[in-house]
Amino acid sequence: MALRQNAGPLEWVSGDAAGARAARPRVRLLGGFALTCGNASIALPLAARRVVAFLALLRRPLSRTYVAGSLWLDASESRSHASLRSCLWRLNRAGHPIVDAATDTLSLSTGVAVDVDDMVTRAGALLGHPGCDGAPELNHQVFLDDLLPDWYEDWVLVERERLRQLRLHALEALAERLLVMGRLSQAIEVAQAAVRAEPLRESAHRCLIQVYLSEGNASEACRQYAIYRALLARELGLEPSDKIKSLLPPSA
Amino acid sequence: MAPIGPEPVGVLVLRAWIEGNHSDGLRVRILKLTDAESGGEPEQMAAATIEQACEIVRTWLVEFTARAAAVNDQ
Say what the pLDDT of residue A13 is: 38
Confidence of residue B68 (pLDDT cuts 50, 70, 90): confident
Angle (CA) A105-A120-B40 rounded to 5° is 70
Q: In what order do the strands lie in the sheet with B43-47?
A: B11-18, B26-33, B43-47
Contact across the interface for B17 and A165, Cβ inside 8 Å: yes
**Per-chain mean pLDDT for chain A:** 88
Q: Name the band, by pLDDT with cuts 50, 70 and 90, for residue A195.
A: very high
Q: Is the pLDDT of residue A23 over 90?
A: no
Reported as a single tens digit per residue, the pLDDT across A58-92 is 989 999 999 999 898 778 889 999 999 999 999 98
- Chain B residues close to A198, C-beta within 8 Å: 29
- What is the pLDDT at residue A5? 32
Whether residue B6 is preceded by a cis peptide bond, meaning omega within 30 degrees of 0, is yes
The pLDDT value recorded for residue A124 is 92
Residue B20, chain A, CB below 8 Å: the answer is: yes
For residues B8 and A59, what is the distance between their CA atoms, to the nearest angstrom? 28
φ, ψ of residue B43 to 5 degrees: the values are -75, 140
Instruction: Count Cβ atoms below 10 Å from residue B18 Cβ, excluding itself.
Output: 11
CB contact under 8 A, A78 and B41: no
Chain B contact for A242 (CB, 8 A cutoff): no
Average pLDDT over residues A179-208: 96
* pLDDT at position A208 over 80: yes
Mean pLDDT (whole number) for A45-67? 94
- Judged against a pLDDT cut of 60, whether residue B1 lies above it is answered with no
The per-residue pLDDT for range B54-67, each reduced to its tens digit, is 999 999 999 989 98
Q: Is B29 in CB contact (< 8 Å) with chain A?
A: yes
CA A224 remoteness from chain centre:
27
Beta-carbon separation of A76 and B1 below 8 A: yes
Q: Please report the ipTM that was assigned to this predicted complex.
A: 0.71
Residue A248, classed as helix, strand or coil, is coil
CA distance to partner chain A, nearest, from residue B49 (Å): 9
Q: Does A233 lie at the interface with B, CB-CB under 8 angstroms?
A: no
Mean pLDDT of A43-47: 92
Residue A20's pLDDT is what? 46
